[in-house]
Structure 1
Amino acid sequence: MKLLRLALTVVFLGIYGSSFSQTRAELERRKAQLNKDIEMINNTLKQTSTSKKVTLKELNALKAQIRLREEKIRTINSEVRLLDGEINQNMNNIRSLQAQLKQLKTDYAAMIRFAQKNQGAYSKLMYVFAAEDFNQAYKRLKYLQQFSEYRVKQAKYIEETQAALKNKVATLNKNKSEKSHLLSDQQKEKNVLGQAENKQSKVIKSLTSQERKLRQDLSQKQRAAAQLDRAIRAAIQREIALAKKKAEEEARAAAAKARAEGKEAPAATTSTSRSSVLAATPEAAKLSAGFVSNRGRLPWPVANGVITESYGTQKIGNITKENNGWTIRANTNAPVRAVFEGTVSRIVEIAGKNVVMIRHGEFFTIYQNLKSISVSSGQKVGTKQTIGTVASDEDGISEIHFELWKGMETQNPGSWLAN
């Protein structure tokens, strides 16, 4: 039973350690991705900082950098908490193994003393021949053999327990070293974060001191956003009208066929939702259902990117602006990808920027600020299929504006794209 308990303990320690490692691996992967994103933002900050004038793009990049560093610090905190758990567990394991090793050695010493008292062949023979009958003599002989085998096993378990104890001590020391490095990294990130926050305050102060110019820049951006909004709504209205017309034509054809066959015409269906009209056909309904089932798992429109403007109301000093989607900073000439299968609904140029609109049943995705476009209107596209490349501005900053609509209503991409 003692040996069984020891074996179960060793198995438990292995399973417990692997579950920690799996979680640690996920945190390490997330931290590695955050480091890549931070490096990308740092590179674009270097580009914008070469200009003497303070811009909104510099402020947005600083905000993104602060957000990413805050998330990295939270990730490090999670790693530290996991390591603390591992350290405590390993210390408990070491104490348990030490107690088991002590007991194994005590038992083994007792066996050795017993063996020394009865080590002569004569004593063993006398023990066997002193049996009352043959069966008892046979059992005594088997006992002596098993006793010898048990001594060998006991010695083996002592060696295994010593090895397990040595490994746990090494793991504990490694955990403590990793924790020390993580805490050092955490402090470094906090220092850099403080510097970024100070710089952000200076940039905001500089921008708000030029409020008139800032309002002009924002007004220009808002006009372009309003123009895009009108174009999207007009395109969706057209898609709704076409879908409604197609549904009515199919209903009339079905009624005519029923009359020709002498059957009762199917009842006409009416829908109060303009969005549901877009999913009236089986193909559109299937696309809509597939889109919804992938909520929270849709790929990003670029393979690597950092959000510099989020969905919703944005505030800069005393000025606010609305954003119907995400502005994502990407690598130069980065391929832009469809986030789900669908049909290219429209390709237009708005405020000097190329825009691609893709329909996915009753959903639409919008990709603005493309330098080149590799698809055409009416073309079917697949998930992650390249539809063009990201354009860059005069400072070499590459950004794509992405929006997601359900019918005539905007959606927060954060609820749909993979985290």
Structure 2
Amino acid sequence: MQRFSLIIFLILILNFQTSYGQSSSELKKRKDAINREIESLKKTRSNVDKNKKLSLTQINLLNAQIKLREEKIGTINSEIKILNNKISTNSSEVESLQSDLSRLKKEYAKMVLFAFRNQGSYNKLMFIFAAENFNQAYMRLKYIQQVGRFRKSQAKYIVTTQVTLKKQISLLDQNKKNKSDLLSDQLTEKETLGKDKDQQSKILSNLTKQERTLQQQLAKKQTEASSLSNAIQTAIRKEILAEQRKAAERTRLAEKARLAKLAAAKANAKPTAKSPAPGTAIKPAAKATSGSSVLASSPEDAKLSSSFMGNRGRLQKPAQGIITQGFGSYKYKSNVTLFNSGINIKTAAGAPVYAVFEGQVSQVFMVLNNYAVMIRHGEYFTIYSKLKSVNVSAGQKVSTRQTIGTVANDPAEGISEMQFQIWKGRNPIDPSGWVR
């Protein structure tokens, strides 16, 4: 029973280590991906810095790098937490194995002593012949044989336990070393993070001093954001009005069919049947719905909206690259705040842009010499802007991951970056909760 309990204990420990090993492996993969993204941002920043021209792009790239370093530190903390659990588990297992090994050795010593005292064949025979009857003699013979076999199995079990103990001690030492390396890596990242924040403050301070340059850049950003937002809102208003007309027409046709059915029923009715009183008012057609709900009023659009919503958190990014700016307000000066209606993705010039979900192209328009594509998914819209070229047109059906265009390059900034937005009706929503 003791041996069986120890085997069960070892199996539980193995499963525990496997589950933690998987989590640790995932964290290491994420940490490696963060390192690659940081290196990519550093190269881009280096190219931008060569222009010797202060810009908001430098701030955005540095902000993205700081965010990645903070995420890396968080990942390291999670790895350290897992290692602490592993070290605690390994320590408990080592103590348990050492206790079992000590007990096994004591039991084995007693068996060896017993075997030594009864090693002569004469003593064994006397032990057997001293039995009161044949059955007892037979049981004593079996007892002597079982003791011999058990002694051999105990010797093997002691060796196995010693090997297991050695492995666990080795694992414990390795985990302690890994923890030490992670703590060192964490310290380095914190120091680098501090330097990045100092540089960020310095660049922003220099930009603030160059009031005219900063105002020009902010004005360009605001103009670009306003132009895109106005174009999106205009396109969505058209979609809503069109759907309202379609909904009203569907209601009118349904009412017409109802009245026709009623008239046919009256014509086929018996003469004694009561006719409706003269001047009976006809039920007016239902008023068309307004807002984003009308965009999902038809069964097809309602199904597409539900399917799009069901894939929240599982949509792939529209382009391969690093998110350099997220959704929300960003303050560059004490009195200047810019609102980003989507997420900005830094990628290679000319990189392909993909539709994140199936739908229909609502509109393709130009914003400050770059293309933007708006795709409708029922009551939801996805917008892909800062494109050099597009290969879809308004009204075209697109499938998930279909290429819709390529990313433009900003020669003034020396960076290729696209913007991705999601709107529900007339309201923009944060894409970060939707993109995987």
TM-score by length of 1: 0.94
The alpha-carbon deviation at position 405 of structure 1 amounts to 0.4
Amino acid at match of 1:399: E
CA distance in structure 1 between the partners assigned to 2:192 and 2:417 by the alignment: 25
Amino acid at match of 2:415: I
- More off after superposition, 159-168 vs 369-378: 369-378
Corresponding residue of 2:338 = 321
CA distance in structure 2 between the partners assigned to 1:375 and 1:157 by the alignment: 72
CA distance in structure 1 between the partners assigned to 2:225 and 2:260 by the alignment: 52
Matches within 5 A, 1:320-359: 320-359=337-376
Aligned counterpart in structure 1 of residue 416 of structure 2, from 383, 393, 398: 398
CA distance in structure 1 between the partners assigned to 2:378 and 2:124 by the alignment: 89
SS in 2 for 1:278: helix
Corresponding residue of 2:209 = 209
Deviations 1:66-111 (A, max 9, x none): 1111111121122122212222221221111111101011111111
Pair 1:260–1:135, CA change in 2 (3 A): farther
Is 1:367 the equivalent of 2:384?
Answer: yes
SS in 2 for 1:371: strand
Deviations 1:306-355 (A, max 9, x none): 22x22221101222112211122123322212122211111111111100
- More off after superposition, 245-254 vs 278-287: 245-254
Pair 1:283–1:129, CA change in 2 (3 A): farther
Amino acid at match of 1:221: K
Corresponding residue of 2:105 = 105
1:326–1:401 CA contact under 8 A, matched in 2: yes
Matches within 5 A, 1:76-225: 76-225=76-225
CA distance in structure 1 between the partners assigned to 2:197 and 2:156 by the alignment: 61
Amino acid at match of 1:328: I
2:55–2:217 CA contact under 8 A, matched in 1: no
The alpha-carbon deviation at position 270 of structure 1 amounts to 4.7
Amino acid at match of 1:341: E
Corresponding residue of 1:312 = 328
CA distance in structure 1 between the partners assigned to 2:117 and 2:338 by the alignment: 93
Corresponding residue of 1:409 = 427
Pair 1:133–1:381, CA change in 2 (3 A): farther
1:34–1:72 CA contact under 8 A, matched in 2: yes
Unaligned runs of 5+ residues in structure 2 are 266-281
The alpha-carbon deviation at position 223 of structure 1 amounts to 1.6
2:323–2:343 CA contact under 8 A, matched in 1: no
Amino acid at match of 1:145: Q
1:254–1:266 CA contact under 8 A, matched in 2: no
CA distance in structure 1 between the partners assigned to 2:171 and 2:428 by the alignment: 51
Corresponding residue of 2:400 = 383
Larger Rg: 2
CA distance in structure 1 between the partners assigned to 2:397 and 2:166 by the alignment: 61
Pair 1:304–1:137, CA change in 2 (3 A): farther
Is 1:29 the equivalent of 2:29?
Answer: yes
CA distance in structure 1 between the partners assigned to 2:419 and 2:204 by the alignment: 23
Matches within 5 A, 1:254-273: 254-262=254-262, 270=287, 272-273=289-290
SS in 2 for 1:328: strand
Matches within 5 A, 1:8-87: 8-87=8-87
Deviations 1:178-233 (A, max 9, x none): 12221222222222222211211111011101223312221222122111111111
Pair 1:282–1:145, CA change in 2 (3 A): farther
CA distance in structure 2 between the partners assigned to 1:114 and 1:337 by the alignment: 80
CA distance in structure 2 between the partners assigned to 1:145 and 1:4 by the alignment: 22
Unaligned runs of 5+ residues in structure 1 are none
Amino acid at match of 1:372: S
RMSD of the alignment, in Å?
Answer: 2.1
Q: Percent identity?
A: 47
CA distance in structure 1 between the partners assigned to 2:306 and 2:322 by the alignment: 27
Amino acid at match of 2:238: R
CA distance in structure 2 between the partners assigned to 1:385 and 1:82 by the alignment: 40
CA distance in structure 2 between the partners assigned to 1:142 and 1:273 by the alignment: 92
2:248–2:288 CA contact under 8 A, matched in 1: no
Pair 1:285–1:4, CA change in 2 (3 A): same
Deviations 1:373-403 (A, max 9, x none): 2322222222222212211111431101111
TM-score by length of 2: 0.90
CA distance in structure 1 between the partners assigned to 2:392 and 2:283 by the alignment: 39
- More off after superposition, 280-289 vs 323-332: 323-332
- More off after superposition, 128-137 vs 142-151: 128-137
